[in-house]
Amino acid sequence: MKPITRIHSRTAVLRDENIDTDRIIPARFLTTTTRAGLGKHAFQDWRYLPDGGDNPAFPLNQPEARGCAILVAGRNFGCGSSREHAPWALLDYGIQAVLCSEIADIFRSNALKNGLLTIVVAEAEHRWLLNHPGVELSIDVREQYVALPDGGRIHFQLEPFARHCLLNGVDQLGYLLQHAAAIDTYEQRNKMEQAA
Amino acid sequence: MSKKTLFEKIWAAHVVAAETADTPAILYVDLHLVHEVTSPQAFTELRERGLQLRRPDRMLATLDHSTPTLPAGADGERPYANAEAKAQVAQLESNCREFGVELHGWDSADRGIVHVIGPELGATQPGMTIVCGDSHTSTHGAFGALAFGIGTTEVGHVMASQCLLQRKPKTFAIHVDGQLPQGVGAKDLILHIIGHIGVDGGTGYVLEYRGDAISALSMDERMTVCNMSIEAGARAGLIAPDETTFAWLKGRPHAPQSAAWDTAVERWRALPSDPDAQYDREVHIDASQVQPTVTYGTHPGMAIAMNAPVPAATNAQERRAQDYMHSRPGQPMRGTPVDVVFVGSCTNSRLSDLREAAQILRGRRVADGVRMLVVPGSEAVRRDAEREGLHEVFVSAGAEWRVPGCSMCIAMNGDLAQPGQLVVSTSNRNFEGRQGKGARTVLASPATAAASAVAGHIADPRDYSQAHNAQEQAA
């Protein structure tokens, strides 16, 4: 994974609360056996009209939302299933960060492992961001703040290890495998306890 | 020594490396369940990196999500929804062969929904850590196992290292006091609980369901409750193991046998939370107040007693959800016309669920214009149900009796509802489009589903019970 230190973009806003993983990527697209190419199906049933054309009512189809890499979403974004296809689809679509007052656990964990930044902000700041689509933001991963156009800053906290991995492009599986000796010891100890 | 909860005991027993301010804990995984949808990319990564499975003996795989629930044709071809679904299943078959994983595939007498067969085989045991690339892994918490869903990257982590990087979650006790009323079951209870704490009420927590009403539940019912923990945002839900748990597990193929069984039970008896153990959050639910419960919106937290009026929408999201569902504030959900009824899924596809539905359908017919699908959770459930003649009850009522799989719960195998159709479903998610684009889902118990199939609209199962019939005949 390549290091991520800063994300700079205008915001696109999806105000709905509880946007679930079925809305992000409907289950019928989960028959894929690769990670690639899911962006064209992101928000499929919301984004397209039945004839396949763009749904003008879908906020991310608005001209000013095109190309935005920062998504501000209603509370509890990513609830539902554990499908990692949800962050894969968002990243492939061009989203690099999701800002929200609360993000579902499994989605957040999956997102961070793929370099999709999930940022939880306080409710008042969240409300402001929801009400100001298109605002130009700069996210500093190292210093953990979002810079606003007026010079103001919204501070946030990432889980320290996730932040370290994002900043340094750390491969988490590689990190785990460095602990092989400790895992061996655990298995040996457990075997003896179970037999005792 | 400090008092510990069930969760804390399991957690402590699986820490390979303790968490620090900078690094999460390395947590050992006892059982890794695998299915065709969330594993292919993980196997690919292993292959690309030249890695092996660390403990293939701790893995168990099956085919359930993409599989057709209609039998193979005369030519032996299974009616897959599309070529991708077929290829995905074939890929899991070849991955399991290549990496040496036990697969309960098409030729297995034990194939079924991953969360149904893990317990059936006795692979799910108290005190274990269990993961699967599937959010309903919380089901296995019914046995006092710490079980939760993971993404595909983490599936790869477990394959290669048998471990996960995890921050310790908080604990949340849900005390269910008293007794459920007659004709009200585990599904009504869990929908009631989620309606109470909210669709994100459990986010960041491991739930522990406690109290008299929980101890009184059968294992099937406990699985229904724990299954839906994720619908309140909690990755895992637990119920302390007890005599009901041990009696259910004893003699199952993967369970410890003879002397090892006694040792295991002794160990398991120490698992329940210590008296006066502290939780980060607690709520009390009065079981006697739970009624037959259904959903009226587009997430499982929008749940209400079917006879109670649907509340007025308080914000744009709720209005959107009610518009989508055509639910009317001030009116009860009972009486809403039904197009499709689905009995199945990892929430409600076990033998007792099918019995519950059959009891109402016996001697009755599915209403004209209603399509009803009954999909057993596993081949074992199918065999047991057919031995009892339940399939004949369903078929003579006009329902379709299918081959095991996830089916219309996730609707990725071709079993789906049409746009606008209303589905009364025993599954776990009523998200927009979950059961087919534009389909409207009402979550309910197997009894409510069966009663609604007969009535043609959402109906109270207590009006269709055997006791109620006897009463009517006497009157």
Contacts of B375 (CB under 8 A, 6+ apart): B69, B342, B343, B344, B345, B349, B402, B403, B404, B405, B407, B408, B415
B431 vs A20: CB contact, 8 Å cut-off? yes
CB pairs under 8 A between A and B: 173
Domain presence at residue A84: yes
Q: In B272-323, where do the E strands start and end? A: 281-286, 293-295, 303-305
* Alpha helix stretches (DSSP H) within chain A: 21-24, 44-47, 85-93, 105-113, 123-130, 160-168, 172-177, 180-195
Tens-place pLDDT, residues A5-52: 999 999 999 999 999 999 999 999 999 999 999 999 999 999 999 999
Identify the band that residue A195 occupies on the pLDDT scale cut at 50, 70 and 90: low
Q: What is the DSSP letter of B130?
A: E
Residues of B in contact with A118 (CB under 8 A): none
Name the H helices within B290-338: 316-325
Going from N- to C-terminal start, the domains of chain B cover 6-166, 295-474
Same fold, B6-166 and B295-474: yes
Which of B86, B129, B165 to mutate: most A Cβ within 10 Å?
Answer: B165
Is B160's CB within 8 Å of A176's CB? yes
A139: in domain:
yes
Q: Quick check: B165 and A161 CB within 8 A?
A: yes
* Predicted confidence (pLDDT) per residue in A134-190, tens digit: 999 999 999 999 999 999 999 999 999 999 999 999 999 999 999 999 999 999 999
DSSP A63-80: GGGTT--EEEE-SSBTBS
Whether residues B17 and A173 touch (CB distance < 8 A) is answered with no
State residue A196's pLDDT score. 58
> Who contacts B338 (Cβ-Cβ below 8 Å, separation ≥6)?
B367, B370, B422, B423, B424, B452, B453, B455, B456, B457, B458
Containing domain of residue A66, as a range?
6-195
Answer yes or no: do B161 and A173 touch at CB < 8 A.
Answer: yes
Q: What is the pLDDT of residue A191?
A: 85
ipTM: 0.97
pLDDT, residue A192, reads 80
Distance CA B57, CA B380 (A): 22
Q: Is the pLDDT of residue A1 over 90?
A: no
Q: How far is B39 from chain A (nearest CA, A)?
A: 8
The CATH architecture assigned to B6-166 reads: 2-Layer Sandwich (3.30)
CATH topology of domain B295-474: Aconitase; domain 3 (3.30.499)
Distance CA B192, CA B472 (A): 29
The total of structural domains in chain A comes to 1
Q: Is residue A113 part of a domain?
A: yes
Residue B44 with chain A: CB contacts under 8 Å: 33-34
pLDDT tens over chain B, length 475 residues: 589 999 999 999 999 999 999 999 999 999 999 999 999 999 999 999 999 999 999 999 999 999 999 999 999 999 999 999 999 999 999 999 999 999 999 999 999 999 999 999 999 999 999 999 999 999 999 999 999 999 999 999 999 999 999 999 999 999 999 999 999 999 999 999 999 999 999 999 999 999 999 999 999 999 999 999 999 999 999 999 999 999 999 999 999 999 999 999 999 999 999 999 999 999 999 999 999 999 999 999 999 999 999 999 999 899 999 999 999 999 999 999 999 999 999 999 999 999 999 999 999 999 999 999 999 999 999 999 999 999 999 999 999 999 999 999 999 999 999 999 999 999 999 999 999 999 999 999 999 999 999 999 999 999 998 666 777 677 6
Residue A1 lies inside a defined structural domain of this protein: no
Q: Could you tell me if residue A78 is inside a domain?
A: yes
Taking contacts as CB-CB distances below 8 angstroms, the residues of chain B near A191 are: none
